[in-house]
Every structure is written in C-alpha cells, then in structure tokens.
Amino acid sequence: MSEIREPTQEDMQTVLDRQKQSYIAEGYVSAENRIDRIDRAINILEKNGEKLSEAMAADFGHRSLDQSQRTDIEGSVGPLKHAKKHLRQWMKPERRKVMFPLGLFGAKGRIEYQPLGVVGCISPWNFPVNLTFSPLGGIFAAGNRTMIKPSEFTAQTSKLMKELFAEAYDEDEVAVFTGGPDVGGAFSRLPFDHLLFTGATSIAKHVMRAAAENLVPVTLELGGKSPVVIGRSADMKLAASNIMAGKTMNAGQICLAPDYVFLPEESRDEFVDSARDSVASMYPNLKDNPDYTSIVNERHFDRLNGYLDDAKAKGADLVEINPANEDFSQQEHHRIPPTIILDPTEDMQVMQDEIFGPILPVKQYKDLDEPLDYINSHDRPLGLYYFGQDKSEENKVLNHTTSGGVTVNDVVMHVAQEDLPFGGVGPSGMGSYHGIDGFKNFSHAKAIYTQSKTVSKMAAAMMRPPYKKAS
C-alpha cells in the first residue's frame, strides 16, 4: 500500500491562488452567499455530529461522546447560527463624524467592512472540531474564503473533516490540508490575507515569524497559566465544584482550564474536601467511566506524570482524587486521576509550564496583594477567575491584573458568550474573535470620506497655493 503524499507548499499555493482569483471574480460578497456558506457548515455538524464525536474518541483513545456533542458539535453550531442571525446588521456601513465644520457643509464619513479575501486557519487537537468550525462564523460572515490546517494529533478527526468539507464546498471556497509539522510550517508561510492560529505559545512564535515574511496579519489564540483567586467571601463548595468541573472537562486539556488556585490559608482543607466531593459526584469512578476523557497521547501522558514526579520529589503534598480507589498502573487508555498539588514551589515544573491536564496546584495567601503580585510577575494569561461576593475585592482583582478575559464565580464560561470577544493578551495571544468582534477581526474597515461641493470650493479658496496673494 503506497503512502499518501503530504501536500507541498506549491500544492497549497496553487489552491490559495485559485481562492484569491475566485474571491476577486465574485466581487461584492452578498449576505445570501455568506449565509449559504454558514448554512453548509451548520449542516455538516448537524448531520455528522455522531461520526465526528466517534472520530474524536478514537483519536484520544477515549473521549466522552456526550462532552464532544456539547463542546465541539453544539458548541460550534451556536456561534455559526449567531453569525448567521446578525451578519446583515454587521455588514451595514457605520457612520462616522467628520472634522468640524466640514459636516455642516455636507461632507460625510463612513466605514464599510470589506472581506479580507482568504483566511488561513490552523486549528489544534484539544477541541479539533470546535476550534475549526466556530471561527468560520466570523470568517464567513465577513465574506471570506478559507484554507484549514487541522492538527496531526487528531488524525482521524482531521481526515473526516477534510472529507466532509470537500463534499460541502468547492475547493475555491474551503480547502483542508492534513499532515504533520512540515505541512504546518509550509502552510504558515503562505501569503494569506489573514492567518488564525490556535495552539501553543511556543509554536505561535514560529507561525508568526513565518507569516511575517509575507506581512500576513495574525490572530493568535494561545494559552498560558490561567489563575484562580478565591476570596474570603466566596462560597467554597461552589468554588471548588466549578473549578473541578473546569479542570476535569476534557481531562483539563483546555487552553482556558484553571491552571492554579490561590485561596485564603485558612480555607485549604475545606477546598480540598469540597474538591474531592465534587469530583466524586461527577465521576464515581474514573478508569472506565465514559464521561472521563483520556490524555490525548503517550507523549502528553508522560509529560503530566513527569510534573507529578517532579513535584513529589521536591517535597509537595499530592492529593490524588480517585473516588473508587482504582489502579491506574495498568489501563487501556492514558487516564490520569485529578490531582491537587498543595503549596507548590516555583522550582517545580508544574508552576513553570501550562499544565493542560487534570493537575491543580493550590497556593495559599494571607493578604490579597500576594496573589495579585504573583499574577503580575508572570506572563499575562488567557483567562482569570475570581470567586467571591465582595464587590470591592472583585474590582481590585480586575483592576490590578491583565488577562485575555475573566469569568467571575465560575471558570471558562466567558468563552461561550458570543457577544464577548475571545482572545489573549501578550504571550496568551493577540487579536480576538466571536460575534461582531470576529466579524470585524476578519474584515477590513475601509474608511470612506465623501466630499461636498461646498467644502471643495472652500478648500480651493482657503487652503491651496498660492498662499500669499499678490497685493
């Protein structure tokens, strides 16, 4: 059996040229055409949700089918339908004021949002369907075409998406290229009109460097160590429950997963007990539980176990939450029980790297300034979470930290709000999308000034040479 040839940069450039030509030939992209492209994406998901969920489960070794339906299928249909509902309004020209007194004499200003052309989209493995399909709401609403490079880590899902897109779209509208790092590198070097990358900060540096060769603007959706600050006014049981729900969803393989927790020193035991109860209520057992997702591959499984070994060797107290006391030394899949690391030190790997797994370091504080100082001394995260009922304390946390987004009294949930922009800041990303912010991100805001005859005559009389009239 012959190996399938991976696409070369020349192959992909040929498709990009064709997409750009088709975009130009289409001219003005009507609302009807934009809606049609969105509808076809929705149709793929609604008709093939089960197939896609099964493919994701196969790629992970095990991934909850119910979770995949909620996060990747329904979680993609929602943004697409939101864009479909609002795009006609988004497309309307936006009136702007002109410099005084020009407006008094009939001059006008407006912005028209114009498609960029072709948007490249590099999607990750952790939510391979959602993070491929949900950006299409903004991309299609803005009138663009797209080329997609999904992750090689979820090869079966990527292969299926490629087939489904090919059935629903001409290649000059949507094209999918599968393959390993070489394909991804070549894809990053293409002269797109815009490039969206979702993934690790370390890879983003290479993507941005490659895109810079053609001055391609980029949107980078990255990650980082998203902190949780629990105030003294917080409902500790509720906080622990919401935090552990976010930490165990997809086995913690979420860019917005709570990465570490700061809590009042007197609340440590209460939090640990509440966390145990919360996990047990969601997952009475773990090893064969269909709702509990595996670590995606052996490499990441070994990496996470390395964090635990390193923390233990350096003196940390580890609290493994294993409700049924199961033996994980022999297992079919790469599953790791949720584990709390108490009072981690800075020299531990788990405090240096984004965890991306069901491991939760917990640090204590006496005064609120301690967690704020700690957060501000590290890279700005993608998400930040505050639990508490003290409004002045909440304001202090929000006003004295910078993060991509915030959820108060829960975790992760701000990403599900289509009327809120989703994006990072600094090492956690640049640019944002979702809703109207996605539409604008994938559009060119064209400034248009319309001169009036009156202003033209005034300009001719007052502002043009010769400036000194002959006496």
Show pLDDT as tens, one digit a residue, over the chain (471 residues): 445 789 999 999 999 999 999 999 999 999 999 999 999 999 999 999 999 999 999 999 999 999 999 999 999 999 999 999 999 999 999 999 998 888 778 888 999 999 999 999 999 999 999 999 999 999 999 999 999 999 999 999 999 999 999 999 999 999 999 999 999 999 999 999 999 999 999 999 999 999 999 999 999 999 999 999 999 999 999 999 999 999 999 999 999 999 999 999 999 999 999 999 999 999 999 999 999 999 999 999 999 999 999 999 999 999 999 999 999 988 888 999 999 999 999 999 999 999 999 999 999 999 999 999 999 999 999 999 999 999 999 999 999 999 999 999 999 999 999 999 999 999 999 999 999 999 999 999 999 999 888 877 777 677 778 877 655
Length of the chain: 471
Q: Is the dihedral of CA 433, 437, 443, 445 positive or negative?
A: negative
CATH 3.40.309.10 residue window(s) in the chain: 227-423
Task: Give the span between the Cα atoms of 195 and 437, in whole angstroms.
Answer: 16
Task: Give the span between the Cα atoms of 437 and 430, in whole angstroms.
Answer: 13
Q: Which residues, 6 or more positions from 194, have their beta carbon under 8 angstroms from its beta carbon?
A: 116, 119, 120, 144, 216, 217, 218, 219, 442
Other C-beta atoms lying within 10 Å of the C-beta of residue 235: 15
Structure tokens at 34: 């934009």
- Give the chain's largest Cα–Cα span: 102
Task: Give the span between the Cα atoms of 52 and 131, in whole angstroms.
Answer: 13
Spatial contact of 250 and 128, defined as CB atoms under 8 Å apart: no
| CATH, domain range 227-423 | 3.40.309.10
DSSP 351: G
Spatial contact of 381 and 262, defined as CB atoms under 8 Å apart: no
* Block residue for tokens 């609302």: 31
Other C-beta atoms lying within 10 Å of the C-beta of residue 373: 12
Catalytic site positions: 221, 255
Return the SS3 of 289.
Answer: coil
CA distances (Å), origin 389, targets 209, 230, 325, 396: 44, 10, 36, 13
Short-list 172, 190, 193, 19, CA closest to 116: 193
Short-list 140, 395, 360, CA closest to 247: 360
264: β partners: 365
Spatial contact of 371 and 385, defined as CB atoms under 8 Å apart: no
The fold for domain 9-222+429-449 equals: Aldehyde Dehydrogenase; Chain A, domain 1 (3.40.605)
CA distances (Å), origin 450, targets 34, 259, 455: 28, 52, 10
Task: Give the span between the Cα atoms of 422 and 130, in whole angstroms.
Answer: 14
Structure tokens at 28: 């003005």
Peptide bond into 338 cis (omega under 30): no
CATH 3.40.605.10 residue window(s) in the chain: 9-222+429-449
Spatial contact of 414 and 432, defined as CB atoms under 8 Å apart: no
